[in-house]
Amino acid sequence: NHKTKGEILSNLLKKHSLSQRKLAQMLKEAGYDRKEDAISKYIRGERQLSIDMIEKIAKVLNENVCIFFDENKTQSLTLKIERKINCGIVPSSEILDEDLIFISSNETKFSLKALRANGNNMSPLIEDNDIIIYDSDENTKITHGDLVVYKFYEEEACKIFINKPHINIIELKAIQNNENFKTTAIKTDDKQIIKHLKLYKVVKIYKNLQNNQVALKLVKED
């Protein structure tokens, strides 16, 4: 009994005793301009509900976005985008708006977290404003060529993990180096230094919230 997103929206309006006009008004008051006519088209299935719009409707109705996806019987997770991460430009410390991203997965882990890319120095893998999903569990295995989010002393960024065990070095590699964003080399046999390094595996990149997943290519070194 698979319901369309329009049917789910229609049921939510009934549940909250709201007219389509009232929902349009609530969205407008929250700063999202969406006409009653558009809502009517969503319900009739004449217009696709974007992830972005679903998040906004869920927010004004105080519902979890998962309500729109649970019909599909995949596990789902809503993540708050915590902050921006350096991908070429060091972010200023301002807190992001209440941005959310919805992840649908058959193996949802509750250690997943979301960040927004700041800068283009990891292009084409990651571009400015892409969403980076990483696993905050430090025990998740990281292998040569993985994208990682890391913290090393005061430095925090997203780069490629390059392992050079024969010379006891790991590199956190920038795709495009510049003055403020370059490859960092760390000696793995220096216990005092290595204890300051925290590494987290990047599991997915979403292009600007529209859930167009981009394949993570492994970076091979000679």
CATH code of 5-72, in short, is 1.10.260.40
Closest Cα partner for 176 from 159, 164, 161, 190? 159
For 109-157, the three-class secondary structure string (H helix, E strand, C coil) is CCCEEEEEEECCCCCCCCCCCCEEEEECCCCCCCCCCCEEEEEECCEEE
Q: Where are the domains of the chain?
A: 5-72, 77-213
User: Cα–Cα distances in Å, from 72 out to 10, 61, 216?
Assistant: 17, 21, 26
CA torsion, points 110, 107, 81, 143, in degrees to nearest 10?
90
Q: pTM of this prediction?
A: 0.62
Residues in the chain: 222
Per-residue pLDDT of the chain (222 residues; tens, 9 = 90+): 567 889 999 999 999 999 999 999 999 998 988 899 999 999 998 988 888 888 889 989 988 877 887 555 555 677 888 889 999 988 886 666 667 777 766 555 678 899 999 999 998 899 998 999 999 998 899 999 999 999 999 999 999 999 999 999 999 999 999 888 999 999 999 999 999 999 999 998 887 544 343 434 334 443
CATH code of 77-213, in short, is 2.10.109.10
What sign does the CA torsion over 9, 15, 20, 26 have?
negative
Closest Cα partner for 130 from 118, 140, 139? 118
Closest Cα partner for 75 from 97, 31, 105? 105
